[in-house]
Amino acid sequence: MGLEDEENVPTIPFISTIHRKYGIFLNHNMKDYNLSFGQYPILIRLYDEGPSTQQNLAKIFQLNESTITRALNKLEEKEYIEKHPDYENKRKNYVKVTPKGAKIAKEVMDYDEQWDKICSENLSEKEFEEFKTTLKKIYSTIVKREEK
């Protein structure tokens, strides 16, 4: 008997399980690239959006700067990204994807799409779009609440 068979279950066990399974899915698929669940979204974001500051990445991913710094240091060790100091503010680093990182990003960036297909197997396209819209609203509510 799984959670889906129980009545009156709060949302968090479902969200937690989905997140954990997503991490397992990504780690399994990315082991050949020496890329982890925590590093993957940062590399993809930098590849898609271009250079960014560490502070901006922390804000985007809702993580503290030390967590972002650790992930960036690991990506830098693998030569997937490189950091460049801001000449006007020495405490600020710009981060960008290297050619090696871009090659890896191109190879792994469809994993999110694959995961969405897995998650939506038993949903119509409309149901999945409505689900994503609802998730975005919940996310926005939580983030705004935290900013107060």
105 and 120 part of one domain: no
What pLDDT does residue 3 have?
Answer: 63
Residue with tokens 């990445």: 57
Assigned domain for 3 exists: no
Assigned domain for 2 exists: no
Domain containing residue 16:
8-109
119 and 102 part of one domain: no
Number of domains in the chain: 2
Mean pLDDT value of segment 36-48: 94
pLDDT band of residue 128 (cuts 50, 70, 90) is very high
What pLDDT does residue 57 have?
Answer: 95
pLDDT band of residue 75 (cuts 50, 70, 90) is very high
Assigned domain for 145 exists: yes
34 and 63 part of one domain: yes
What pLDDT does residue 85 have?
Answer: 87
Give yes or no for residue 1 having a pLDDT over 60: no
29 and 86 part of one domain: yes
65 and 36 part of one domain: yes
Contact at 8 Å (CB) between 79 and 49? no
Assigned domain for 34 exists: yes
For residue 43, how many other CB atoms are within 10 A of its CB? 25
Assigned domain for 123 exists: yes
